[in-house]
Amino acid sequence: MSRPFHVVVAFLWLVSVADFVSAREKVGLVLSGGGARGFAHVAVLEALEANRVPVDYIAGTSMGAVVGALYASGLSADAVRQKLLAVDWNATLQDVTERDERSFRNKSFEGRNFLGLDLGVGPDGLKLPLAALRGQKLALALNELTLETATVNQFDQLPIPFRAMATDLATGDPVALAEGSLATALRASMAVPVVFSPVELDGRLYVDGGVANNLPIDVARDMGADRVIVVDTSSLRYTTNELTSVVTVVDQLTNLLTRRNTEAQVETLTETDLLIEIFPDSITTSDFHRAEEVLAIGRKSIAALPDLFSGFQVSTDAYVAWRDARQAQVLPPTLAFVEVISDAPRTSSQTIANRLTIRPGQALDNERLKSDLGQIYALETIDQVEVSVVERDEQVGLSLETREKSWGPDYLDLGFNLEDSLDGNASYNLHGVVRATNINPLGGEWRSEVTLGDKTRITSELYQPVNYGSNWFASAIVGFIREDRALYEEGVITALYSTETREYGFDAGYSLDTRGEFRVGFRQSDIQNDLNLGTDSLSSTVDDSRYFIRAGYDTLDSFGFPTEGIRVLSEFSIYDAKLGATKQYEGVTLDLLYPFYHSGRTTLVGQGYAGYLFETDVVDVTPRYSLGGFTRLTGYSPDEISGRHAGLISLIGYQRLNEQSVFPIDQPLFIGFSLEAGNVFQEREAIRWGNTLSGGSVFVGADTAIGPGYLSIGRTEGGRQSVTLSIGRPFAERN
How far does Cα 36 stand from its chain's mean position?
20
Amino acid in the structure at residue 347: T
My answer on whether omega of the bond before 280 falls inside 30° of 0, hence cis, is no
Q: CA-CA distance, 591 to 569, in Å (whole number)?
A: 5
- Asked whether 547 and 522 are in contact (CB, 8 A), the reply is yes
| Bridge partners (DSSP) listed for residue 57 | 28
| 133: nearest Cα among 197, 199, 206, 205 | 197
CA-to-CA separations, 310 to 52, 351, 553, in angstroms, rounded: 9, 58, 64
Q: Which of 32, 56, 62, 197 is catalytic?
A: 62
337-342, strands of its sheet edge to edge: 337-342, 395-404, 382-392
Q: Is 373 exposed, middle or buried (0-12, 13-18, 19+ CB in 10 A)?
A: buried
Q: CA-CA distance, 133 to 440, in Å (whole number)?
A: 28
| Bridge partners (DSSP) listed for residue 167 | 174, 207
- DSSP code at position 335: P
Q: CA-CA distance, 407 to 429, in Å (whole number)?
A: 27
- Asked whether 265 and 215 are in contact (CB, 8 A), the reply is yes
| Bridge partners (DSSP) listed for residue 488 | 493
Question: Is 73 an active-site residue?
Answer: no
Non-local CB neighbours of 67 within 8 Å, separated by 6+ positions: 31, 38, 39, 41, 42, 45, 60, 80, 84
How would you label 530-558 residue by residue, b for 16+ Cβ within 10 Å and e otherwise?
A: eeeeeeeebbeebbbbbbbebbbbbbbeb
Q: CA-CA distance, 721 to 309, in Å (whole number)?
A: 73
- DSSP code at position 179: B
Non-local CB neighbours of 303 within 8 Å, separated by 6+ positions: none
| Positions of E strands within 34-74 | 57-61
Task: Identify the H or E element spanning 650.
Answer: strand 645-656
Question: Is 62 an active-site residue?
Answer: yes
- DSSP code at position 101: G
| 135: nearest Cα among 364, 367, 382 | 382
| Positions of E strands within 268-381 | 274-277, 337-342
- Asked whether 247 and 80 are in contact (CB, 8 A), the reply is no
How far does Cα 312 stand from its chain's mean position?
45
Q: Helices 291-303 & 40-50, crossing angle to 10 degrees?
A: 40
CB atoms within 10 A of CB 34: 31
How far does Cα 246 stand from its chain's mean position?
22
Task: Identify the H or E element spanning 168.
Answer: strand 162-168
| 176: nearest Cα among 223, 118, 126 | 223
| Positions of E strands within 169-210 | 174-177, 199-201, 204-208
Q: CA-CA distance, 32 to 44, in Å (whole number)?
A: 12
How would you label 482-509 residue by residue, b for 16+ Cβ within 10 Å and e otherwise?
A: bbebbbbeeeeeebebebebebebebeb
Q: Which of 208, 251, 554, 591 is catalytic?
A: 208
Active-site residues, by number, are 62, 208
